[in-house]
Chain A
Amino acid sequence: MSGQVVVSDEVAPVQLGPPILEVAGLVKHFSTDRGLFGGGAKLHAVDGVDLQIFPGEVLAVVGESGSGKSTLARCILRLIDPTEGRIVFAGQDVLALKGRRLAGFRQQVQPVFQDPFSSIDPRWRVGTSVAEALDAFAIGTKAERRARVLDLLDRVGLDPSLVGRRPHELSGGQRQRVGIAAALAPSPRLIVADEPVSALDVSVQAQVLNLLADLQRDLRLAILFVAHDLAVVEHISHRVAVMYLGKIVETGPTEAVFRDPRHPYTKALLEAIPRPDPDRRMQESVLRGEIPSPIAPPSGCRFRTRCPVAIERCVTEEPEMTLFGEGHTAACHVARAELQKQDHQRRQ
C-alpha cells in the first residue's frame, strides 16, 4: 500500500532467509458511532502498514502516541481482526488460523502488554501468571515448570521469593517484569512487546535489555519492540519503523535512521529526546501546530499540519515511500525533492 519501493532487507547480517513475520497492507478502522444516530465516522487507527521481521531481529516501532502501535500489535497477536490486510507468520496466513494451528501460533508468538497493571490477573499469584503459557501448553513436568518460573524471575531481576505474591503487592516495574517473564516462558520465536521496559529504571532496564539481546542472538528470537524511549531503541533494535497517524512514515536500519533521518517527523522525534544533561535544557517543544485526528486525517501528507517544512504539494498529494539508502525509506515530498536535487547535482 505505501508506495512502490520495496524495502530492501539485505542489510543486517541477521536478515538471512525468509522473514518470520510479514505484514502487508494492514488496515484497522474503529467505528466511532456511540449514540443512536452515530454518524458512522471511522477512526483510522492503522492505515496501510507493511513490515517484515526476520528471525533474530529486533524491529522497533516508534511514533506518536495514538498513532496505532498497540493496535498494530494486537492485530499481529490476533486479538482483534484487521479491517484489511495480510499477516503471515512462518509461512502461515495468521488470519486464517484455527484450532490447533492457532494454538501453535500462540505458543510461538508471545505478547508483552503496554499496561503492566491491567494485564495481569489481580487474583493470580506471580508464579501462576508467569507459568500461564507453560500450563496452557502443558510444557514440561510440574517441577520443571516451577524451576523455569523461578529461573525466569531471577533473570528479569526479581527476587524468586516474590513468586507467591499477588500483583497488587508489587510495584509497577515489578509487574512489568512479571509480564516479560511470562512472555519468555514458553520459548517463543517472536515476541510482540508493547513498551516492555517503560516502567523500569535504567539499571533494571539494562538487565532486561541484555537478557533480550542474549535471547535474540542465541536463540534467534525475533522481537517487535514498540517503544518511546529512543535511547533504548537505538541500543537494542536492528531496524526502526516510525509511525505517524496510522502509517509508517520512515523505516530503515537503526543506525541509518538515527544518523540521517529523512522524514521531518523522525527529525522532530530525535530532536525532542530529553538529554540526561541538565546543562543542555530545551526551552520549547519542537513541534507546533494542530495535532491531527485519526477520525479525519489531513489530506495529502498526514504530518503537514505540524510539519515545519511543508510545501503546497503536501496538502494535495500523499507522499510515496522513497528509497534513501539500503533499506532506508521515507515518505516525504520535501525529502524526496532534496534527494532528486542531490542526484541531479551529482550527475552533472
Chain B
Amino acid sequence: MSVAIPNVPARTSRRQGILASRKGRVGFAILVALIAIAVFAPLIAPHDPNAIDASRILAGPDLAHPFGSDALGRDVLSRVIYAYRVSLGVAVGSTLLAFLFGVPLGMYAGYHGGWVDTLIMRPIDMVLALPALLLAVALIAIIGPGSDVALLAIAVIYLPILARVVRSSTLVVASQTYVEAARARGTPSRRIITRHVLPNAIGPAIVQATILMGFALQIEAALSFLGLGAQPPTSSLGVMLADGRDFLTQAPWIEIFPGVAIAITVLAFNFFGDGLRARLDPRGVTR
C-alpha cells in the first residue's frame, strides 16, 4: 500500500550521505576524476594541444598518441583535455550563475506569494516559454560570440528552470506548520526564509542543478559547433566536434573522443543527481 505508509523520515546518519546509493557513488567517482582532469590539464596532457606536427596529420591512435591526431597533426588527447577544461568551466559556471540568481528569486516569490509572486514569476515564465537554443542564439547575436557569452546564455536559459523548481518546493515548505510556528514565535521573515525555508526547500533545486550541469555541456557543445561558443584559439568540445566533422570517415577518432567525453560527463552528473535525490527526497521536501 503506497499511501498509509508514512514518509518515514530518513533516519539515516549524515555520514552515509549520497554515497549510500551505488549510482551516487559511481557518479561521484567519475565526477571527481573529470574535475581533476580539468583542473590539472597542464599536468595530465601528454603534449602541447596546439603543437602542430606535420608528420602526424590524421594519424590514427598509437601508444604515444592514444586518441590519434587531427588534421593539423595535433594530439587529440591533449586537445580533448584542454577543451574539456573550457567546456566544463562553462557548464559549471553557467549553472552556478543561474542557481545564484534563480534560487533567491523563486524562493522569494514562493514565500511571499500574491503580487510579489506575479511580479517575479511572469517575466521568468516568459523566458521559460521560449525555445532554449533560440534564446541563446539571440543573446549571442546581440553581444557577440565567445565562451563567456555562451556561459551567460546558458545561465539565462537555466535561471527560470531553477526558479520554478525552488518556487514549488518553497510553496510546500512554506505551508508546513513549523514555518507557521516560526512566525508565531516572532521569527522575522528574512530569518524564516534563510533558516527554515531555504534548507528545507533547496534540495530539489540542487538535484536539478546537478543534472542541468551535465546538459549544459551539451548546450555549450551545440553552440560551439555552430560557431557561437568558444572562439579560436580557445577550443572546446563543441569546437572539436565541428572541426572533426569533415574527417568523420577518414579519421573518426577526432570526432569520437570529444563526443564520448560529453556523454560520460552528462551521465556522471545524472548519476550523481539521482544519488542526491535519493539522499534529499525522503526527508520530505518534495513530498
Name A's B-contacting residues (CB within 8 A): 74, 77-79, 103, 106-107, 109-111, 113, 115, 118-124, 132-133, 135-137, 168-169, 179, 182-183, 186
Within 8 A of A (CB), among B65-86: none
CA distance A119 to B178 in the complex (A): 4
A182 nearest in chain B by CB position = B185
10 closest A-B pairs (Cβ-Cβ)? Answer: A106-B186, A168-B9, A118-B177, A119-B177, A133-B185, A111-B184, A136-B187, A121-B178, A136-B186, A119-B181
Give the shortest distance, in Å, between B125 (CB) and chain A (any CB). Answer: 21
Within 8 A of A (CB), among B166-210: 176-178, 180-188, 191, 195-196, 199-200
What B residues does A132 contact at CB under 8 A? 182, 185, 187
A133 nearest in chain B by CB position = B185
CA distance A51 to B20 in the complex (A): 55
CA distance A333 to B9 in the complex (A): 51
CA distance A186 to B177 in the complex (A): 20
Report if B15 contacts A (CB, 8 A): no
Whether A123 contacts B187 by the Cβ 8 Å rule is no
Of the listed residues B177, B181, B196, the one surrounded by the most CB atoms of chain A closer than 10 A to its CB is B181
Of the listed residues B177, B180, B185, the one surrounded by the most CB atoms of chain A closer than 10 A to its CB is B185
What A residues does B183 contact at CB under 8 A? 79, 106
What B residues does A78 contact at CB under 8 A? 184
A116 nearest in chain B by CB position = B177
CA distance A182 to B181 in the complex (A): 10
Give the shortest distance, in Å, between B216 (CB) and chain A (any CB). Answer: 29
- Given A113-B181, A118-B177, A168-B9, are A123 and B186 neighbors across the interface (CB < 8 Å)? no
B interface residues, tally (CB under 8 Å): 22
Whether A122 contacts B200 by the Cβ 8 Å rule is yes
Whether B178 contacts A118 by the Cβ 8 Å rule is yes
The one of B177, B188, B191, B284 that contacts A115, using a Cβ cutoff of 8 Å: B177
Give the shortest distance, in Å, between A138 (CB) and chain B (any CB). Answer: 11
List 6 A-B pairs, Cβ < 8 Å. A103-B186, A109-B184, A111-B185, A115-B177, A118-B178, A135-B187
Give the shortest distance, in Å, between B240 (CB) and chain A (any CB). Answer: 44
B284 nearest in chain A by CB position = A122
What A residues does B199 contact at CB under 8 A? 123
CA distance A74 to B180 in the complex (A): 9
Whether A123 contacts B200 by the Cβ 8 Å rule is yes
B interface, over-half SS: helix
CA distance A115 to B176 in the complex (A): 11
Report if B283 contacts A (CB, 8 A): yes
A168 nearest in chain B by CB position = B9
Report if B11 contacts A (CB, 8 A): yes
A112 nearest in chain B by CB position = B181
What B residues does A74 contact at CB under 8 A? 180
Name B's A-contacting residues (CB within 8 A): 9-11, 176-178, 180-188, 191, 195-196, 199-200, 283-284
Give the shortest distance, in Å, between A275 (CB) and chain B (any CB). Answer: 32
What B residues does A120 contact at CB under 8 A? 178, 181
- Given A118-B178, A119-B178, are A107 and B184 neighbors across the interface (CB < 8 Å)? no
What B residues does A113 contact at CB under 8 A? 177, 180-181
What B residues does A119 contact at CB under 8 A? 177-178, 180-181
CA distance A133 to B195 in the complex (A): 13
Of the listed residues B10, B178, B191, the one surrounded by the most CB atoms of chain A closer than 10 A to its CB is B178
The one of A79, A136, A168, A179 that contacts B188, using a Cβ cutoff of 8 Å: A136
- Given A121-B196, A168-B11, are A110 and B178 neighbors across the interface (CB < 8 Å)? no
Give the shortest distance, in Å, between B205 (CB) and chain A (any CB). Answer: 16
Of the listed residues B11, B184, B187, B283, the one surrounded by the most CB atoms of chain A closer than 10 A to its CB is B184
CA distance A273 to B196 in the complex (A): 40
A120 nearest in chain B by CB position = B178
B181 nearest in chain A by CB position = A119
Give the shortest distance, in Å, between B113 (CB) and chain A (any CB). Answer: 14
Whether A136 contacts B185 by the Cβ 8 Å rule is yes
- Given A122-B283, A122-B284, A123-B200, are A137 and B186 neighbors across the interface (CB < 8 Å)? yes
- Given A168-B9, A169-B11, are A110 and B177 neighbors across the interface (CB < 8 Å)? no
CA distance A132 to B177 in the complex (A): 15
Q: A107-B186, A113-B177, A120-B181 are in contact. List 16 more A-B contacts (CB 8 A).
A: A78-B184, A79-B180, A103-B186, A106-B186, A109-B184, A118-B178, A119-B178, A121-B178, A122-B200, A122-B284, A123-B199, A132-B182, A136-B186, A136-B191, A137-B186, A169-B11
Whether A110 contacts B185 by the Cβ 8 Å rule is yes
CA distance A78 to B186 in the complex (A): 11
CA distance A92 to B244 in the complex (A): 77
The one of A106, A118, A122, A168 that contacts B185, using a Cβ cutoff of 8 Å: A106
- Given A122-B9, A168-B9, are A77 and B178 neighbors across the interface (CB < 8 Å)? no
CA distance A106 to B10 in the complex (A): 33
- Given A113-B181, A136-B191, are A118 and B176 neighbors across the interface (CB < 8 Å)? yes
What B residues does A124 contact at CB under 8 A? 195
Give the shortest distance, in Å, between A88 (CB) and chain B (any CB). Answer: 18
B173 nearest in chain A by CB position = A121
What A residues does B186 contact at CB under 8 A? 103, 106-107, 133, 136-137, 186
Give the shortest distance, in Å, between A75 (CB) and chain B (any CB). Answer: 12
Whether A106 contacts B184 by the Cβ 8 Å rule is yes
CA distance A125 to B103 in the complex (A): 25
